[in-house]
Structure 1
Amino acid sequence: MRELIYYVATSLDGVIAAPDGTWGAFLDEGDHMAVLVDEYADMLPGHVRGALDITADPTLVDTVIMGWNTYTPALDAGIVSPYPHLRQIVASRSRRPDSPDVAVTADPVATVRALRREGGGGIYLAGGGALAGTLIDEIDRLVLKINPVVLGDGVPLFGGASYADRRFRPTRTRAFDSGVVMAEYVRAGA
């Protein structure tokens, strides 16, 4: 069955972006970057893959789902199709992308469930926190790039999720000299 993989950078206190949605506090250089490029190249936006000369077809995921606020920085940079190597879906109730390569869903839970029935590769949950909160009970795997910083306020890892005991079990943890820790989990019982 297709997995929904929430792959995201976070602070030590579970913040994935500043209150204005920017990501400036997270490390984008250091020894952890080789792992991101080698193991998670599918999840890099097209312009980053191009800059790194990554041309290999995706092997881990074939679809990306993101919230409108995650999609907006690409639009602001003039990029209407940020993940051209993947099937792209934006969760939005009111806005529509101006690209035939990007689908829209007003019901991300139903969309993820339908994608699972189709079969195929994994589904990358690119964010943001509100969408992750909506999809929390659908997430099969977490890949957290934990940055050595405490932000205090901002976009939470799982925004708006109701209180419930949702267990994940660790499958792999790697610490890097940069201070970043890559922590991977799967839903308990899976």
Structure 2
Amino acid sequence: MRELTYYVAVSLDGFIAGPEGQFDAFLLEGDHMAALTGRFADAIPTSFAQALGIAQERSTFDTVLMGWNTYAVGLPDMPSPYAHLRQVVFTRRDPDPVDGVDFTDADPVGVVRELKAQDGAGIWLCGGGALAASLASEIDRLVLKVNPVLFGDGIPVFGRGGYAPSAFTRTAATAFASGVTLLEYARS
């Protein structure tokens, strides 16, 4: 069965974006970048990976899930940010069709359960916090890129709650000289 991995950058105080949705304080340079782009190449926007000559083999992830606000970050320049992956965007809006992007207002839990039953590589939950909260019971792995910054307010890693308590076991912790720490957990 496929796994759902919530792979996301987070501040020390638990936010995936600031009060206005900004995430530019996250470190995009440093010794952590080579390790992350090597291991998680599938989680790099397609056009960036092509420009950097990074191969995306869909071996880690072949599907990406995101909420509308996460998807809209790249608009209008990048209407299909992860063209190398199956892209599912959860939204109540009725956007114009985009090749390679499946917009849906279906129940996220039901969609994830259907995806898990299919053959393929992993499923990546890209964001946002409210979607993560709604899918908390379905998340098999957490991979948190903890950045050495404080936002003070913003979008919490798991929205405003509303999910049942869950236990996870730490499977790895990698500290980089940049100050970023990669924390990995599996559902207990």
Q: TM-score range by the shorter chain?
A: over 0.9
Q: Which residue of 1 aligns with 2:17?
A: 17
Cα separation, 2, equivalents of 1:159 and 1:42: 25
Offset at 1:101? Answer: 1.0
Offset at 1:22? Answer: 1.3
Offset at 1:55? Answer: 2.8
Cα separation, 2, equivalents of 1:29 and 1:54: 16
Q: Which residue of 1 aligns with 2:69?
A: 69
Equivalent AA in structure 2 for residue 105 of structure 1: T
CA spacing shift, 1:125–1:97, aligned 2, 3 Å = farther
Q: Which residue of 2 aligns with 1:135?
A: 135
Task: Give the 4+ runs in structure 1 shifted more than 4 A.
Answer: none
Q: Which residue of 2 aligns with 1:109?
A: 109
Encode CA deviations 1:104-127: one digit per residue, 9 max, x unaligned.
Answer: 221211110111111211000000
Cα separation, 1, equivalents of 2:163 and 2:60: 31
Encode CA deviations 1:3-49: one digit per residue, 9 max, x unaligned.
Answer: 00000000111101011111111100000001111100011111221
Whether contact under 8 Å (2:132, 2:157) holds in the other structure is yes
Equivalent AA in structure 2 for residue 37 of structure 1: T
Cα separation, 2, equivalents of 1:130 and 1:64: 16
Q: Secondary structure, in 3 states, of the residue corresponding to 2:136?
A: helix
Identity, in percent, stands at 53
Name the TM-score, length of structure 1 as normaliser: 0.94
Q: Show structure 2 runs of 5+ residues with no match.
A: none
Name the TM-score, length of structure 2 as normaliser: 0.95
Cα separation, 2, equivalents of 1:43 and 1:151: 23
Q: Which residue of 1 aligns with 2:179?
A: 179
What RMSD over aligned residues (CA atoms) do the two structures have, in Å? Answer: 1.2
